[in-house]
């Protein structure tokens, strides 16, 4: 019962004002646009130091102050910010995980390159998988290894020796 009361109290302490609105794990903050005379809105995910999204915000009727935030605008901003994060995660995944398919006499082989980012010791794992999902080989390579069909064919033809 206490957990429910604490959760309800947390919801009641959320800020929902004209220039700051919180909810659904996000804070929308209307800020002065440094690039021009207008206003911008920054969407900050709870626990993150930097905004996930900063975009232009509509001027109010007086043409001086920003339009106030409301529940409808906030929901749209949350949806947009979540989409931006999702696209960023997809782009990062595509950058860190690549694969090519090579046709061999024994059937198709998928060669995968999985980059493990690390500030001090980044590396990648190059792996070959047959058409049944069985791993044929796996070696550690430099994180800047260029995976192409040609480099994969060379690795397979070389007996899966470390490139």
Closest-CA residue to 55 (of 80, 20, 79, 37): 80
Give the model's pLDDT for residue 12.
58
Give the model's pLDDT for residue 33.
84
Give the total residue count for the chain: 163
Q: Global pTM?
A: 0.70
Give the model's pLDDT for residue 6.
44
Q: Which residues of the chain have pLDDT under 70?
A: 1-12
Give the model's pLDDT for residue 4.
43
Q: Is the dihedral of CA 148, 151, 157, 159 positive or negative?
A: negative
Give the model's pLDDT for residue 9.
44
Contacts of residue 143, Cβ cutoff 8 Å, sequence gap at least 6 = 115, 116, 117, 122, 123, 124
Closest-CA residue to 74 (of 44, 48, 49): 44
**What is the spatial distance between Cα 130 and Cα 87, in angstroms, rounded to a whole number?**
30
Give the model's pLDDT for residue 5.
42
Give the model's pLDDT for residue 50.
95
Structural domain spans, the chain: 2-69, 95-157
Measured CA angle at 149 (ends 163, 89), to 5 deg: 90
Measured CA angle at 39 (ends 36, 41), to 5 deg: 130
**What is the spatial distance between Cα 127 and Cα 19, in angstroms, rounded to a whole number?**
51
């Amino acid at each position: 019962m206490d957990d429910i009361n604490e959760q309800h109290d947390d919801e009641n302490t959320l800020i929902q004002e004209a220039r700051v609105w919180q909810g659904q794990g996000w804070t929308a903050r209307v800020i002065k646009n440094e690039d021009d005379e207008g206003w911008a809105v920054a969407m900050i995910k709870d626990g993150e130091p930097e905004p996930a999204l900063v975009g232009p915000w509509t001027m109010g009727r007086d043409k001086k102050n920003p339009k106030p935030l409301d529940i409808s605008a906030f929901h749209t901003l949350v949806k947009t910010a979540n989409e931006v994060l999702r696209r960023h995660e997809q782009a990062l995944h595509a950058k860190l995980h690549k694969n090519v398919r090579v046709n061999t006499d024994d059937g198709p082989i998928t060669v995968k390159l999985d980059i493990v980012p690390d500030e001090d010791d980044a590396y990648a794992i190059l792996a070959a998988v047959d058409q049944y999902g069985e791993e044929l080989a796996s070696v550690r390579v430099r994180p800047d290894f260029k995976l192409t069909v040609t480099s994969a064919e060379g690795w397979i033809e070389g007996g899966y020796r470390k490139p």
